[in-house]
Chains A and B, each alone.
Chain A
């Protein structure tokens, strides 16, 4: 994620438990959405349009009389899948690419990193929009598009770490002892670079969630109203934005869900970085 800005140094540590707790709730909501809510995700009641929060509808209802809590719970599925899925795809592509570049060295490394630089310099949202035109506006296409945008970060980190790790004496001694290349990568290099990669992973989850919800908000993200996946939080914010003047509750809840999820993940990322990568502090 080229232009993506990473959160500031040092963590707000005493908030960590709250963030972890909130994220747990969101993950649970994503998995158990149907059991948490007694309303069907597409079900609407004609006589209960645009109701403010009440005991029957905790977050109120939207313009079609749909229960907003249910929609927000189902929306967690989109965000969590997009966040985790993208991060994993990017991790796989990027780390492999970086490892190969770092190991091959020389011209290979140079050429491979030029491609990374090209991607790194462009605004991700731009590449992402172009890719999503090719892969379609469904969750699968979105995952591929986002994954193809965010792998460069992992490639850079992995390559840098490999170049560093190659200089370690124990790697040199492993070579001298005649260890195979594969053994060196799996046993000596990977364990040493895993920390920075996990930190990068934690930061790419919120960037992916942010990118997805932004695109859905401007109407070029996931556009699949009848899927069991529910509607993206970005689309819910868009719905609420149109009715904001008179019915602010419709925008408030999904907006808060996006903000708190991204905030929690960023704070968690800072905490993890302090633990796993103390050099950066």
Chain B
């Protein structure tokens, strides 16, 4: 197990390096530079700016400087925010995004389990069909449309909540629903199909035959065995939440990392784009690592391998 985790850890580091290299290459290939503006800068100023950010050095040197910076935890200066480095910007905005992402995961798990269980238990009934239809709707509704719809209905028409603020708990409700809806729909559908399979297994029949209470059959036998598929999709699910977060932060004007990422793309603030990309990758790699550990706890067969 420890050997496996070590292997995974090294694999994660390789992924991070590959992503750093890929982003570096892509952004050097991109046409147009950060200092292109409506008014052309005089060549002397441009040369000075390039010297300041080491853009006049050979590419290999820039690349090595960048990698060395990452190793020290220094993601370089931002071209746009002159008073703050990329590391600082990320440190300021990451907690907000992480809070939103965490709330969305809790929301998605919280509503998908009862729905998936209900649909699987009453398989092929009207309830099942209804749940499935809602799940299809949930997966097909883009998050920016859901966000706009919620703001229009809940904030503007009903006036229950205020949109566009990020100061107390009530301001997190609508963004959490918007970000968590698609993962919830997806998880519910996944749980349903995995539970339908488990309910057909011999050990569930045995559990019922020996007179176990129905609630115990569900909790101890059916649900416990359906956790593996849920865990398997946790990685992609977190990736979806990460990209979903730029949109949701944009719609609800939340000062998180995703919002800074979008402005960085518009401003061509390359160091900030590279920094945020790396942090996203690190989060994903970390999440997958955690999932691997959890696998071992949930499924003893994997631990012994």
Residues of A within 8 A of B (CB): 2-5, 7-10, 12, 118, 121-126, 129-131, 133-134, 136, 206, 210, 213-214, 217-220, 234, 237, 241, 244-245, 248, 251, 255, 258-259, 262-263, 266-267, 270
Q: Closest Cβ of chain A: how far from B284's Cβ, in Å?
A: 6
- How many residue pairs, one in A and one in B, have C-beta atoms under 8 Å apart? 140
| A8 and B193 contacting across the interface, CB-CB below 8 Å | yes
> What is the bound-complex CA distance between A242 and B188, given in angstroms?
33
Is the pair B15, A126 in contact by a Cβ cutoff of 8 Å?
no
Chain A residues with CB under 8 Å of B288's CB are 121
Q: How far does the alpha carbon of A46 sit from the alpha carbon of B284 in the complex, in Å?
A: 51
A123, A130, A136, A219: the one within 8 Å of B26 (CB):
A130
A-binding residues in B (CB < 8 A): 15, 18-19, 22-23, 26-27, 29-31, 129, 132-133, 135-137, 139-145, 148-149, 151-152, 156, 182-183, 185-186, 188-190, 192-193, 233, 235-237, 239-240, 242-243, 246-247, 250-251, 262, 265-266, 268, 273, 277, 280-281, 284, 288
**Does the CB pair B240–A118 fall under 8 Å?**
no
Which residues on B sit within 8 Å (CB–CB) of A270? 136
Contact A218 B246 (CB under 8 A): yes
Interface-central residue, A9, A206, A234, by most chain B CB under 10 Å: A9
Expressed in whole angstroms, the Cα–Cα distance for A150 and B236 within the complex equals 14
Q: Contacts of A258 on B, CB cut-off 8 Å?
A: 142, 145
From B19, B30, B133, B237, A122 is in contact (CB under 8 Å) with B19
Inter-chain contacts of B277 with A (CB < 8 A): 126, 130
Q: A133 near B142 (CB under 8 angstroms)?
A: no
Q: Tell me the complex Cα distance, A259–B188, Å.
A: 20
- 22 residue pairs from A and B, CB less than 8 Å apart: A4-B240, A5-B233, A5-B237, A7-B139, A8-B192, A123-B280, A124-B243, A125-B243, A126-B280, A130-B27, A133-B27, A133-B265, A134-B27, A134-B30, A136-B31, A214-B143, A217-B247, A218-B247, A218-B262, A220-B262, A220-B266, A244-B152
